[in-house]
Amino acid sequence: MAIPPKHLRELYQLFSSIGSEKEAKLLLEDLMTPQELASLAERWQLIQELHAGSPQRDIAKKLHVSISKITRGSRQMKFGSGGFPLFLKKLKKNSAASW
C-alpha cells in the first residue's frame, strides 16, 4: 500500500513541531499503542548499542532481542537514509564505531 506523499509530509511536519521531551511523550503515547512504543524504544536502544560498538550477541543478551532484529538495525545504520547517525550526533551519543 502506497502512502500518499501529502500524508507523509503532514506526519513529518507533526514530528518537526515537537518542542520538548514532554510534548514528544504526549504525542507518542497518543499516537502509538504501548506495544508500538515499546518496540520503537527497543529499536532506539539497539541502535545506540550498535553505534557504541557493542557486539551483536552482547546486545541480544542485554536487550533480550533476536540477532535478526539487531542485524536489521545494523543494516539501517549502514544503508538507511542517514537519520540514525544524524540524531546520534545531534544527541551527542559517543561512538566506538564510525558509520
pLDDT at 99 exceeding the cut of 70: no
Question: DSSP string covering the chain, please?
Answer: -PPPHHHHHHHHHHHHT--SHHHHHHHHHHHS-HHHHHHHHHHHHHHHHHHTT--HHHHHHHHT--HHHHHHHHHHHHHS-SHHHHHHHHTT---SS--
Placement of cell 510534548 in the chain: 23
Averaged confidence pLDDT in the chain: 93
- pTM (2 decimals)? 0.85
Q: Sorting pLDDT into bands at 50, 70 and 90, what band is 1?
A: confident
Cα–Cα distance, 64 to 46 (Å, whole number): 10
Other Cβ atoms less than 10 A from the Cβ of 56: the count is: 17
Q: Sorting pLDDT into bands at 50, 70 and 90, what band is 13?
A: very high
Every domain of the chain and the residues it spans = 38-94
Cα–Cα distance, 7 to 62 (Å, whole number): 37
Residues 56, 74 contacting (CB under 8 angstroms): yes
Segment 47-84, tens digit of pLDDT: 999 999 999 999 999 999 999 999 999 999 999 999 99
pLDDT at 45 exceeding the cut of 50: yes
Of the listed ranges 6-10, 85-89, 91-95, the least confidently predicted one is 91-95
Q: Sorting pLDDT into bands at 50, 70 and 90, what band is 98?
A: very low
